[in-house]
Amino acid sequence: MLLCIGLGLFVFSCTTDEDEELMGNWIRRSDFEGITRSSSVSFTIGEFAYVGLGYDGDDDLVDFWRYDASQDFWTRVDTFPGVGRRGAIAFSIDGKGYVGTGYNGEADQELKDFWSFDPNASPGTQWQQVADFAGSARYNAVGFALSGLGYIGTGYDGNWLKDFYEYDPNTNTWQQVVSLGGSKREDAVAFVIDDQAYVGTGRNNGVYEFDFWAFSANTKTWTRKLELDEDDDYNIIRHNASAFSLGGLGYIIGGSNGSTLNAVWEYDPLLDSWEQLTGIEGSAREGHVAFSINSRAYITTGRTSSIRLDDLWEFQPNEEYDEDD
Q: Which amino acid is at 124?
A: G
- CA-nearest of 280, 316, 309 to 15 is 280
Q: What is the pLDDT of residue 231?
A: 64
CA distance 68 to 295: 14
Q: What is the pLDDT of residue 293?
A: 95
Check if the beta carbon of residue 285 is closer than 8 Å to that of residue 47: no
Q: What is the mean pLDDT of each run of 10 residues along the chain (325 residues)?
A: 40 42 94 98 97 98 98 98 98 98 98 98 97 98 98 98 98 98 97 97 96 96 93 83 97 97 97 96 97 95 96 96 83
What global pTM score does this model have? 0.92
CA distance 120 to 263: 37
Check if the beta carbon of residue 193 is closer than 8 Å to that of residue 220: no
Between CA 6 and CA 303, with CA 23 as vertex, the angle to 5 degrees is 40
Other Cβ atoms less than 10 A from the Cβ of 29: the count is 17
Check if the beta carbon of residue 83 is closer than 8 Å to that of residue 60: yes
Q: Which residues fall within 8 angstroms of residue 296, CB to CB, at 6 or more apart?
A: 69, 314, 316
Check if the beta carbon of residue 159 is closer than 8 Å to that of residue 200: no
CA distance 221 to 124: 40
Q: What is the pLDDT of residue 159?
A: 97
Q: What is the pLDDT of residue 27?
A: 97
Q: What is the pLDDT of residue 232?
A: 62
Q: What is the pLDDT of residue 235?
A: 83
Give the torsion through C-alpha atoms of 19, 262, 192, 226, to 10 deg. 70
Considering the four listed CATH numbers 2.90.10.10, 2.120.10.80, 3.40.1010.10, 1.10.238.10, the one that applies to the domain covering 2-320 is 2.120.10.80
Q: Are strands 149-156 and 48-52 parallel, antiparallel or unpaired?
A: unpaired
Q: What is the pLDDT of residue 234?
A: 72
CA distance 153 to 38: 21
Q: In what order do the strands lie in the sheet with 23-29?
A: 23-29, 312-320, 296-300, 289-293
- Max CA pair span of the chain: 58
- 127: which strand partners? 117
Query: b/e string for 102-141 if b means 16 or more Cβ within 10 A?
Result: bbbeeeeebbbbbbbbebeeeeeebbeebeebbbebbbbb
Give the torsion through C-alpha atoms of 75, 121, 293, 73, to 10 deg. -10
Reported residue count of the chain is 325
Is the torsion defined by CA of 249, 164, 171, 64 positive or negative?
A: negative
Q: What is the pLDDT of residue 325?
A: 79
